[in-house]
């Protein structure tokens, strides 16, 4: 398939007060692909993402120079209607930010302000996009109850539905899974994978495994500079530049060697914690333990507990309908309370 | 016993003492007014206007002042609201957060908050003369509105400041304008706080005597026109307590009890309302 360009960034620099956050970024973001922006914390990932729909204008003391072309139009041109631009881009924030109204109202808020008044059409939109975001079955009986009653994972899917309801062309995600539990995160990832055939998706992530799972194209930023970009395979396997290599090697092990495997299926709390902990104690620093669990609570709680112990959770992945695989790297940092 | 424990105990005593002083003084005020006023309170007082010689102990009631105060309070709160709401939305959504302008406006509001109400009364009186108005319900409403605008605006401002930035971001990201964000999102989120601010301002307005002393004048008849003088409870209390007759003074306490009752009621209503509206807001 040919890679069309959807968003072109030209010489984009962003300053917060006196500090330059982005330095002369020029890049083309491919159409109908999932592009991941990666890089260490504070490298300007979110700033780049948020300058694509000019939501960055809301920040105090921001100055932007350069151009961003969306559909051939420079969005920093003073003549551009910023509301139209933003309608083209759905934004998913790190922490889901629902609006203070009912589930139904959350979804129709966007379409309503863009002029859809017909009740039937709005009902249709709600049903359609709640289905797309995979929330419909859970909420169809309580569409008019406050959205605050949803769990945080459900709220993020509601935000996705709300973003899609204005019929955007692009979905921007600012680490949309980082505040979620593994199961909810996996659901959001699934949705994004499904959506990338119809939408251009740009995702900021600090999780290289997530980038590997989802992205077609990767942009690596370092201290506000664009270091490298290209197809995911190429960047993660054969990065050209030392900085990219260092970052990727520090954060991400391409082929994990699993030093020990532990089957915790049908094991419940506190047994699974104890077993995982014992298994990790037997390992040396840096070695990796693979755990398989089949119990939803364990998927959420075991990694949390191991992280609390000071170990590093590398990956949580669904392997089939019921089972989840959790990779944990042993760390020597011993935490005591 | 070790030193830290003693310290802990001493400061704890201070804290408990302060708390009891505040709670105790409220209780004491309520008890005093109740003990002095309740015996003199009767139905006549609540449903009749003063007849001739009411202030020397003859028949009648203070319905004129009760109604006058409520109408004046509602009118002034409404006037203050239509000024305060746009003001605070402007400060919080349209003006940059750290702009000098917002800083100055907030400073002005704080200064206005501190101005004594008698000064507002005098200012209202000058305004009245300038516009050729006579002491009337309208003039009093305007003056009381001026008095409570800073209170209302500043407390609403604090409410709006607490709104998470991400909520605005989420709304703007859907392509809404500032106005749509303000009215449809921020207003909903801030509603419980806005209601509380309104009712605080109402309570402050309804109880103020000095601002209405010159501007509302006083009358024995029920309020019937915006351009005629109006009776208010604080002044009714003032006049009754100022007479040398013990039974009229007791009626003064009864009137104070009525006023306190109204304010008490408002506080409860405001609690209930903000609780009702806080179901949907984001914590």
Handedness of CA A192, A198, A199, A203 (dihedral sign): positive
What CA–CA distance (Å, rounded) separates A299 from A291?
Answer: 10
Tokens (6 digits) for B159: 């409410």
Partner residues linked to A64 by β-bridges: A14
What CATH number is associated with residue A87?
3.40.50.300
In 10 A of CB A65, how many CB atoms? 12
Q: What distance in Å separates residue B194's CA from the closest CA in chain A?
A: 15
Provide mean pLDDT across the span A119-136: 92
Q: Across chain A, what does the average pLDDT equal?
A: 86
pLDDT number for residue A270: 80
Q: Give the β-pairing of A260-263 and A288-293.
A: parallel
Provide mean pLDDT across the span B223-237: 91
Q: Say if residue A19 is in the same domain as residue A86.
A: yes
Q: Is the pLDDT of residue B170 over 50?
A: yes
Q: Could you tell me if A49 and A102 are in contact, meaning their C-beta atoms sit under 8 angstroms apart?
A: no
pLDDT in tens, B49-61: 888 778 877 788 8
Interface predicted TM-score of the whole assembly (ipTM), two decimals: 0.82
Q: Could you tell me if A158 and A107 are in contact, meaning their C-beta atoms sit under 8 angstroms apart?
A: yes
| pLDDT over 90, % of chain B | 64
CB pairs under 8 A between A and B: 86
Q: Where are the alpha helices (DSSP H) in chain A?
A: 45-52, 82-87, 103-113, 119-132, 136-139, 152-165, 182-195, 208-214, 232-237, 242-251, 271-282, 296-308
Q: Give the β-pairing of A200-204 and A217-222.
A: unpaired
Q: Is the overall model pTM greater than 0.90, yes or no?
A: no
Provide mean pLDDT across the span A200-209: 89
3-state secondary structure of A219: strand
Q: Is residue A335 part of a domain?
A: no
Q: Is the pLDDT of residue B70 over 50?
A: yes
Q: Could you tell me if A229 and A235 are in contact, meaning their C-beta atoms sit under 8 angstroms apart?
A: yes
pLDDT in tens, B88-97: 999 999 988 8
Which chain A residues touch B if contact means CB-CB below 8 Å?
53, 55, 58, 60-61, 83-87, 89-91, 93, 95, 97-102, 109-110, 113-114, 146-148, 159, 162-163, 166
CATH of B45-277, one of 3.90.1150.10, 1.10.287.110, 1.10.3720.10, 1.20.900.10: 1.10.3720.10
pLDDT band at A128 (very low <50, low <70, confident <90, very high): very high
Higher-confidence residue of A143 and A1: namely: A143
In 10 A of CB A304, how many CB atoms? 12
Judge: B176–A83 Cβ closer than 8 Å, yes or no. yes
Total domains present in chain A: 2
Q: Is residue A334 part of a domain?
A: no
DSSP string of B16-69? HHHHHHHHHHHHHHHHHHHHHHGGG--HHHHH-PPPTTGGGT-S---HHHHHHH
What CA–CA distance (Å, rounded) separates B147 from B201?
Answer: 9
Instruction: Find, among B171, B182, B179, B96, the residue nearest to A63 by Cα.
Output: B96
Q: Cα-atom radius of gyration of chain A, to the nearest Å?
A: 21
pLDDT number for residue B221: 86
pLDDT number for residue A179: 84
What CA–CA distance (Å, rounded) separates A56 from A46?
Answer: 9
pLDDT band at A332 (very low <50, low <70, confident <90, very high): low
pLDDT in tens, A32-85: 899 999 988 888 899 999 999 899 888 888 889 999 998 888 999 888 888 888
Q: Report domain extents, chain B.
A: 3-40, 45-277
Q: Is residue A66 part of a domain?
A: yes
Judge: A97–B176 Cβ closer than 8 Å, yes or no. no
Domain boundary residue among A251, A279, A308? A251
Q: Which of A58, A83, A93 sits opposite B177 (nearest CB)?
A: A83
pLDDT band at B43 (very low <50, low <70, confident <90, very high): confident
Judge: A109–B173 Cβ closer than 8 Å, yes or no. no
Q: Is the pLDDT of residue A336 over 50?
A: no
Q: Say if residue A49 is in the same domain as residue A192.
A: yes
What CA–CA distance (Å, rounded) separates A86 from A199?
Answer: 15
Residues on chain B touching A83 (C-beta within 8 angstroms): 175-177
SS (H, E, C) A266-312: CCCCCHHHHHHHHHHHHCCCCCEEEEEECCHHHHHHHHHHHHHCCCE
Longest dimension (CA), chain B: 74
Q: Is the pLDDT of residue B73 over 50?
A: yes
pLDDT number for residue B179: 93
Q: Could you tell me if A52 and A170 are in contact, meaning their C-beta atoms sit under 8 angstroms apart?
A: yes
């Amino acid at each position: 398939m040919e890679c069309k360009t959807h968003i072109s960034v030209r010489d984009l620099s962003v300053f917060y007060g006196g500090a330059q956050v982005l330095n002369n970024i020029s890049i083309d973001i491919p159409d109908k692909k999932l592009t991941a922006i990666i890089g260490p914390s504070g490298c300007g990932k979110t700033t780049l993402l948020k300058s694509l729909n000019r939501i960055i204008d809301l920040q105090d003391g921001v100055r932007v120079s350069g151009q961003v072309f969306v559909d051939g139009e420079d969005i920093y041109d003073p003549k551009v209607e910023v509301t139209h631009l933003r309608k083209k881009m759905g934004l998913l924030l790190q922490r889901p930010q629902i609006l203070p109204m009912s589930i139904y109202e959350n979804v129709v808020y966007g379409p309503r302000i863009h002029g859809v008044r017909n009740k039937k059409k709005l009902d249709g939109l709600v049903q359609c996009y709640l289905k797309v975001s995979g929330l419909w079955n859970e909420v169809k009986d309580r569409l008019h109850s406050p959205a605050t009653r949803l769990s945080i994972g459900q709220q993020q899917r509601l935000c996705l539905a709300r973003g899609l309801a204005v019929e955007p062309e692009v979905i921007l995600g600012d680490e949309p899974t980082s505040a979620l539990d593994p199961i909810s995160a996996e659901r959001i990832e699934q949705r994004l994978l499904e959506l990338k055939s119809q939408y251009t998706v740009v995702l900021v992530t600090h999780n290289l495994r997530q980038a590997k799972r989802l992205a077609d194209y990767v942009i690596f930023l370092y201290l506000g500079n664009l270091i490298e970009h290209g197809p995911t395979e190429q960047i993660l396997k054969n990065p050209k530049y030392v900085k990219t290599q260092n970052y990727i090697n520090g954060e991400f092990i391409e082929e994990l060697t699993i030093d020990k495997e532990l089957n915790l299926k049908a094991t419940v709390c506190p047994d699974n914690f104890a077993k995982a902990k014992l298994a990790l104690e037997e390992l040396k620093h840096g070695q990796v333990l693979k755990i398989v669990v089949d119990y939803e609570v364990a998927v959420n709680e075991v990694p949390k507990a191991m992280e609390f112990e000071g170990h590093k959770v590398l990956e949580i992945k669904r392997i089939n309908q019921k089972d989840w695989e959790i990779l944990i790297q042993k760390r020597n940092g011993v935490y005591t309370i | 016993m070790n030193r830290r424990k003693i310290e802990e105990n001493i400061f704890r005593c201070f804290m408990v003492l302060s708390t009891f002083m505040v709670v105790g003084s409220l209780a004491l005020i309520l008890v005093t007014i109740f003990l002095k006023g309740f015996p003199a309170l009767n139905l006549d007082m609540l449903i009749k206007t003063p007849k001739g010689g009411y202030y020397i102990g003859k028949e009648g009631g203070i319905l004129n002042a009760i109604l006058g105060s409520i109408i004046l309070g509602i009118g002034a709160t409404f006037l203050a609201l239509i000024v305060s709401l746009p003001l605070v939305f402007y400060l919080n959504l349209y003006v940059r957060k750290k702009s000098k302008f917002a800083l100055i406006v907030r400073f002005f509001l704080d200064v206005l908050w501190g101005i004594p109400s008698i000064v507002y009364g005098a200012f209202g009186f000058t305004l009245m003369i300038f516009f050729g108005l006579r002491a009337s319900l309208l003039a009093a409403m305007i003056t009381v509105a001026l008095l409570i605008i800073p209170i209302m605006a500043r407390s609403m401002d604090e409410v709006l400041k607490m709104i998470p930035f991400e909520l605005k971001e989420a709304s703007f990201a859907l392509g809404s304008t500032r106005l749509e964000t303000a009215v449809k999102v921020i207003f909903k989120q801030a509603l419980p706080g806005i209601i509380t601010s309104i009712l605080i301002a109402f309570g402050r307005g309804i109880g103020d005597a000095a601002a209405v002393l010159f501007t509302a004048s006083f009358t024995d008849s029920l309020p019937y026109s915006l351009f005629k003088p109006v009776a208010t409870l604080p002044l009714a209390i003032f006049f009754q307590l100022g007479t040398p007759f013990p039974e009229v003074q007791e009626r003064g306490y009864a009137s104070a009890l009525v006023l306190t009752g109204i304010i008490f009621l408002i506080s409860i209503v405001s609690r209930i309302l903000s609780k009702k509206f806080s179901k949907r807001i984001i914590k």
